[in-house]
Structure 1
Amino acid sequence: MRTVGNDLVRHQLHENRKWYLLLGAVLVIFGLVLLASLGMATLTVVALFGVLMMIGGVLHLIAAFKIFDGGFRWLWALFGILYLIAGYYAFKSPITTAVVLTSLLAIALLIGGFIRIFNAFMLKPMSGWGWTLFSGLLTLATGAIILASPDSPFWVLGLFLAVDILFQGVNYLTFAAAIKKIPPVSH
């Protein structure tokens, strides 16, 4: 049984399919370009980090003086100033920022790997626990490789960005292909 809502959604999907294709193709191209220049991609991540930290700093300062009253106002202002300093530092010293961010990422992966391995052994009585163990070992190994590699700050962040953008593009292309298989609305 068809409903008006389903017909409207199908119509909108078919109407916008070309935009999903275009966005997917552009993202795949950007992802491939970033993969080909991981150093530049890493600097892009650092610049984006700097911009976001500065925006966060400004928003914290606005919140401190426009939203909050009392003693917590100065805490928000302090966070705003720290965010602004971190954003400025990202632009002033992008290589050092890349080293710090890459180290933090590696440490987070190590911690995540240990947690997944611990969870795997807790799930051992259940089927599929081995996949959790495998995931934990892979995450742990990724963190260790990043931490052990002296040149990782120059490519890891860029690799994560490039792969994310590439897969988003593939996702949109796959979505557009799936829309093509949905029968259009007939009137």
Structure 2
Amino acid sequence: MGRSTKPTGEAAKLRRGFSWLAVLGVLLVVAGVIGLLYTAFATLTSMLLFGWLLLIGGVVGLLHAVQARGTNFFWLGVVVAALNIAAGVVVIRRPEAAAEALAMFAALLFLTGGLFRLVGSLVVRGPQFGWTLLQGAFDLVLGILVLSSWPSSRYVIGTLFSLALLFDGLGLIATGYGGRRIVGMVAEKDAAKPVQPE
């Protein structure tokens, strides 16, 4: 009588865990695609989420600073918490302005990162010369494109956020699918082993 190749015990738990990882990946991919279709809404949503995270982080930091009163950390904790709370309130009240400011920051990051990659690839000329040069040129062009549409670049943050969700989701799907396959292969290998007589 052949043994069942269906994973049991820990293998079944691992397989279920990888399945849930793949499901989460599918949800992130769907959210990323919806965000790419409605980038202005994705920008507004991400800014409000960012603002609330700043606000909650500031309140938690303030509570932590109050608990640490009497130490050297107290005043630094109060200042950082107050800055987080103030930034959170500003972002929640003016999400469009916050998105424009972050778009400017992202454009400057793309420009400086692209410039450093271009110059570095030309100076070093390492084994990844072509890819580094291409990535630097892409970052530079992306920074110029964002800056050229600023301050009306309210779609930039939503697009970047949606792309991040999309690629994270694809990564989770690949991890979940690959993990399920590996667990299945290990279960089949264990099932094929001959039963040792007791």
Superposed pair shares fold, TM > 0.5: yes
Aligned partner of 2:124 in structure 1 is: 123
C-alpha displacement of 1:46: 0.5
Greater shift in the superposed pair: 77-86 or 58-67? 58-67
Structure 1 contact 53–87 (Cα < 8 Å) conserved: yes
- The root-mean-square deviation of aligned C-alpha atoms, in Å, is 2.4
Rounded Cα–Cα distance in structure 1 between residues aligned with 2:110 and 2:77: 30
Say yes or no: does 1:63 pair with 2:64: yes
Q: Deviations over 1:10-29 (max 9, x none)?
A: 55432323313322222221
Aligned partner of 2:144 in structure 1 is: 144
Aligned partner of 1:168 in structure 2 is: 168
Secondary structure of 1:154 counterpart: coil
Rounded Cα–Cα distance in structure 2 between residues aligned with 1:146 and 1:71: 43
Rounded Cα–Cα distance in structure 1 between residues aligned with 2:92 and 2:165: 23
Larger-Rg structure:
2
Greater shift in the superposed pair: 71-80 or 46-55? 71-80
C-alpha displacement of 1:115: 1.9
Secondary structure of 1:131 counterpart: helix
Count of residue pairs brought into register by the alignment: 180
Rounded Cα–Cα distance in structure 1 between residues aligned with 2:152 and 2:114: 19
- Superposition TM-score, scaled by structure 2 size: 0.79
Which stretches in structure 2 are left out of the alignment for 5+ residues?
A: 1-7, 192-198
Which stretches in structure 1 are left out of the alignment for 5+ residues?
A: 1-6
Q: 1:70 to 1:150 in 2, by over 3 A?
A: same
C-alpha displacement of 1:50: 0.4
Say yes or no: does 1:26 pair with 2:27: yes
Aligned partner of 1:16 in structure 2 is: 17
What one-letter code is carried by the residue in structure 2 that aligns with 1:74?
Answer: W
